[in-house]
Amino acid sequence: MYLCIFFGKLKTSNIMRLLQSRFIVLILFTGFLSLHLSAQEGYVPTQENLDNREWFQDAKYGLFVHWGVYSIMGGGGDQGIAEWIMEQKDIPIVQYEKLPGFFNPTRFDPAEWVSMVKKAGMKYITITSKHHDGFAMYDSKVSDYNIVDATPYGKDVIGLLKKECDKQGIKLFFYHSQLDWHQSDYFPHGRTGNGIADRSEAGDFNAYIDYMNTQLSELLTQYGEIGGIWFDGMWDKPDADWRLGETYALIHKHQPGALIGSNHHKMPYPGEDFMMFERDLPGENSMGFNNTGISDQVPLEMCETMNGSWGFNIIDQNYKSVEMLIHTMVRAAGYGANFLLNTGPMPNGQIQPENVDTLMAIGNWLETYGEAIYGSRQGPVKPQEWGATTVKDNVIYVHVLDYKGRAIEIKGIDPSHLRSAVYFDDGSRVDVKRTEEGIHLTIPKKKVKSIDTIIVLTLK
Ligand code: H79
């Protein structure tokens, strides 16, 4: 805003133009600085937080849940990300506000969800407490725009889910959108939601941040110990003062062990405890916005959809195969990253049966091969076309996902340091050849598995 004030006052002589451009640079620079400095500068994670980071990396696999009043619309007959329907169809706030009146997930059974998660081999759930549409899926006191006050269902689904998670030993994280198309103080508007006709024409962004922080405090105090907060949406207003330092300090004050991550497509800011990648493996950029680096300071997580949408999309049948998803999970593990696989529950509260089938099949695979995933870290060879490696203590797991008949090269391993090299499946020995830089592994056809041929290298 102050840019416009400056422009209004400046005359357009050449000198002034020059000054103007200097002002812009200065203003942009201080803007950048203030964003950075406003993160939780000087943050030192507690021991509990560091322990949770280890737990997180050991866990490796979680369920992402996008559930909200948008689920009723089921994507409106379009392919695409169904949780964005308010912005994609430019639905005015006053019309969108009718949706909660139809939200009555009578088939929601948290015990069923959490049992499914356990059978799937997942260790945590990350659920939308609020998405970009601004609707709180929990019992919030600062606004009536929430599931308890505004729906016929009237129950706090997040509270119910948390109780069940505690019972069954699953950690619960909250996805919380910083972007908000509904709240009138979310002003000035950002890059999205500008076609929504009745958004406010004035507002106090600081009041919005206060509101968001109060909602976060509710989430951190009403439900006992949570896994952490998964932020999204800062990219909507990249230059705004989000007062990150305050928000992060608030979260860490309430729950020092809670892990904070933000999907801002940048390297982690101070105060963040993990880094995430949306629908791309770390270092890949098929989405166009994943062009940041990979942090070696904090744990990593990659999130992925089962079809093309996060929220329930009634027409999108373009499901990824079990094999494809396991391959992505293995490659993510090969980067040391967790795999957060998404489902968009239906408006009646049930998980899409197609998704349940997929989750059960992956869970089945993990029952046998989980040893090579859970508790592992990034292996000595970064993921390659042929597959990936993971490591646990003195054991390297070589995951051969796509064997083309050529020898697999593992650099940096001296064969004299190898105690054994065997197939995971039957313990039979693997053909190992010494090379100048390490070892070569060759796999006879009959040993090649359809999803993942795992070779276990045990070091002395
Ligand atoms: O919650 C799910 C999605 O609804 C949300 N993140 C996942 C986890 C999501 N938001 N946006 N996207 C996914 C697509 C990202 C679009 C972006 Fe951009 C490209 C953000 C920044 C560059 C769109 C175009 C928004 C600003 C410009």
CATH of the domain at 428: 2.60.40.1180
Cβ–ligand 1 distance for 235 under 6 Å, the answer yes
Say if ligand 1 is within 6 A of residue 234 CB. Answer: no
Whether the CB of 165 sits within 6 Å of ligand 1: no
**CA-CA-CA-CA dihedral for 80, 83, 89, 90, to nearest 10:** -140
Q: What is the pTM of this model?
A: 0.92
Strands 171-177 and 124-130, sheet pairing = parallel
SS3 448: coil
Q: Are residues 73 and 178 in the same domain?
A: yes
Distance 205 CA to ligand 1 centre (A): 21
The C-alpha angle with vertex 332 and arms to 329 and 338, in degrees rounded to 5, equals: 80
6 plus 114 within the same structural domain: no
313 lines ligand 1 (CB under 6 A): no
Domain assignment present for 307: yes
Ligand 1 in reach of 272 Cβ (< 6 A): no
- Number of structural domains found in the chain: 3
Final residue of a domain: which of 327, 345, 375?
A: 375
Position 34 scores a pLDDT of: 47
**Mean pLDDT across the chain:** 93
Number of other residues whose CB lies within 10 A of the CB of residue 342: 20
Please report which confidence band the pLDDT of residue 361 belongs to, taking 50, 70 and 90 as the band edges: very high
Cα(310) to centroid(ligand 1), Å: 11
Give 260-293 pLDDT, tens digit per residue. Answer: 999 999 999 999 999 999 999 999 999 999 999 9
Among residues 340, 375, 410, which one ends one of the domains? 375
pLDDT in tens, 46-105: 999 999 999 999 999 999 999 999 999 999 999 999 999 999 999 999 999 999 999 999
Whether the pLDDT of residue 179 is over 80: the answer is yes
Closest atom of ligand 1 relative to the 265 alpha carbon: 21
Structural domain for 425, as ranges? 387-459
Task: Please state, in angstroms and rounded to a whole number, the distance separating the CA atoms of residues 146 and 210.
Answer: 17
Instruction: Give the pLDDT band (50/70/90) at residue 38.
Output: confident
Protein residue whose Cα sits closest to atom 27 of ligand 1: 191
Residues 178 and 228 in one domain: yes
